[in-house]
Amino acid sequence: MLRIGDTEFSSRLFTGTGKFSQACDMLAAVSASQSQLVTLAVKRLDLKTGSDNILKPLQDSGVKLLPNTAGARNVKEAIFAAHLSREMLGTNWIKLEIHPDPKYLMPDPIETLAAARILCEQGYVVLPYVHADPVLCRRLEEVGCAAVMPLGSPIGSNQGLATEPFLKIIIEQSNVPVVIDAGIGAPSQATRAMELGADAVLVNTAIASSADPVAMGRCFAQAVATGRTAYLAGLGVICQQANNTSPLTGFLNV
Amino acid sequence: MISIVLNDEVVTVSIGTSLVKVLEHQAIELDAVALALNAEVVPKSRWPHIVCQQDDKLDVFSVVAGG
């Protein structure tokens, strides 16, 4: 079982709720993925159109909600978003994300670390979205973050684990769960992340933008479970030379 | 009557109107939103006890789908 803060998860696949064409598709895909932790965003209510109406069905489904601070460009805005979501949802869990750059959505490490320190002091269970920076991840752990969420590649890019060498270092060094967030575009990439020893992955776009989100949610569930099992079983050592798997008795040399 | 700014729209309310009454007048579902008054988050328990003042800036937030 994966444990973050005081919560245990039997599924190591976390899912986002964005980009689905319809709320019912999102709910069905989350269910098929067996995800037990889903992300949400906070937004100023449009008084004319009302709310998205996704909250109640998600709450009814029993998944744990992880509000994010998307849209925050600095410490102040991130803390404001965290306070809003705590009031709204009654949760002290927060996915801390501060990315001022709209083109690549790269997380700002300086603002993120400063905000993480404050939110941890305020009693939040902080899961920060960061670049795959092993030094930053250690710093975030030191200020009390419950997990770290390094990116595989830019959000929504489906580029997979472009940061793999650095993810390996983070996984090796971390004393808190490592959740690979962002850029995972295919189930095979989720498997790879889990084979590396990641504690979980967070997937949104790859499921939401699929022609069949329910089937893709199911694929990711299998992929994550397979990768985890393979990690625990132990992967073979990569060698430069061949190592024979059959006995070389030389009996053909007649 | 006084005027306040609710999510960037000017709204006129009676003197003595509480925050919770403003939301009710707008038919906003109370259990699914958070409220900031002049950029400060107001706990839900305080909504019935805070009375709007002229030019108050009230922002109502809800959750939306996101990654």
Of A16, A83, A88, the CB nearest to B67: A16
Q: What is the pLDDT of residue A122?
A: 97
pLDDT digit string, tens, across residues A85-133? 999 999 999 999 999 988 999 999 999 999 999 999 999 999 999 999 9
pLDDT digit string, tens, across residues A176-209? 999 999 999 999 999 999 999 999 999 999 999 9
Dihedral of alpha carbons A119, A121, A125, A126, sign: positive
pLDDT band at residue A248, thresholds of 50, 70 and 90? confident
Q: What is the pLDDT of residue A6?
A: 93
Domain ranges for chain B? 2-62
- Characterize the bridge pairing of strands A37-44 and B57-65: antiparallel
Q: What is the CATH number of domain A2-233?
A: 3.20.20.70
Q: Which residues of chain B have pLDDT under 70?
A: none
Domain ranges for chain A? 2-233
In whole numbers, what is the pLDDT of chain A averaged over residues?
A: 95
Q: How far is CA A146 from CA A28, A95, A118, A237, A244, in A?
A: 29, 10, 14, 32, 45
Contacts of A83 in chain B (CB under 8 A): 41
Express as a percent the part of chain A with pLDDT over 70: 99
Q: What is the pLDDT of residue A69?
A: 97
| Model ipTM value | 0.90
Largest CA distance in chain A: 88
User: Are B67 and A206 within 8 A, CB to CB?
Assistant: no
Q: What is the pLDDT of residue B24?
A: 92
Q: What is the pLDDT of residue A244?
A: 86
Dihedral of alpha carbons A143, A148, A151, A155, sign: negative
Q: What is the pLDDT of residue A245?
A: 87
Q: What is the pLDDT of residue A206?
A: 97
Instruction: Name the residue with tokens 């003197």.
Output: B15
Helix, coil or strand: residue B55: coil
**Angle at alpha carbon of residue A191, lines to A105 and A68, rounded to 5°:** 35
Q: Which residue of B has its CA nearest to A65?
A: B63
End-to-end CA distance of chain B: give it in Å, rounded: 42
**Range B2-62 has CATH code 3.10.20.30:** yes
Contacts of B59 in chain A (CB under 8 A): 44
Alpha carbon distance B66, A39 (integer Å): 6
Q: Which residues contact B50 (CB under 8 A, 6 or more apart)?
A: B18, B19, B37, B42
B interface test, pick of A30, A38, A45 with most B CB neighbours within 10 Å = A45
**With 90 as the cut, is the pLDDT of residue A14 above it?**
yes
pLDDT band at residue A48, thresholds of 50, 70 and 90? confident
Instruction: Name the residue with tokens 């009654």.
Output: A90
Alpha carbon distance B65, A50 (integer Å): 14
Q: Active-site residue A95, yes or no?
A: yes
Q: What is the pLDDT of residue A9?
A: 97
pLDDT digit string, tens, across residues A234-247? 999 999 999 888 88
* Interface residue A41 vs chain B (CB under 8 A): yes
